[in-house]
Amino acid sequence: MKKIATLLLASFGLLLLSRCRPDGGALRGYFWTSRQNGGPYYLYINDTLKGTLPAFSRPPECGEAGLEKKTLFILLRSGVHVITVKDRQGNLLLSERYKLYKGKGSLSLSVSMDTPQGSNRHVIYGDCSVEEISF
């Protein structure tokens, strides 16, 4: 009887622990800048070039037609990501650290800046994140 109770308790514990893990989901990130001069500006994630930041005078919105083509679209999986922006000479303009957790039905995003001159503005709707990067 003790073995059955122990087995049931262990199974219940494993079931609870499995619900705490990320589901491998992702956040759809749409990056842009309002800085109109001095470009181009290049966005890197974990030291890998992802593309050129497009510049807009007004913020794009989640659900907007053609959002993936207008912005720099990047699928961000759960984990820690270092996002940097550099100019054409390779000078670092912005560095931020994303801590992203996407679990079953939940999303947690913590962003911290590693450079004093940079800032960002997020609009998150569901699994869509539109981020303006300023530097």
Residue spans per domain, the chain: 22-134
Task: Give the single-character DSSP code of 83.
Answer: E
Q: How many angstroms separate the CA atoms of 128 and 82, rounded? A: 19
Mean pLDDT of the chain: 84
Point out the least confidently predicted range of 1-5, 11-15, 120-124: 11-15
pTM exceeds 0.85: no
Q: How many angstroms separate the CA atoms of 128 and 62, rounded? A: 6
Higher-scoring residue by pLDDT: 1, 124:
124
Q: How many angstroms separate the CA atoms of 78 and 18, rounded? A: 16
CATH number of 22-134: 2.60.40
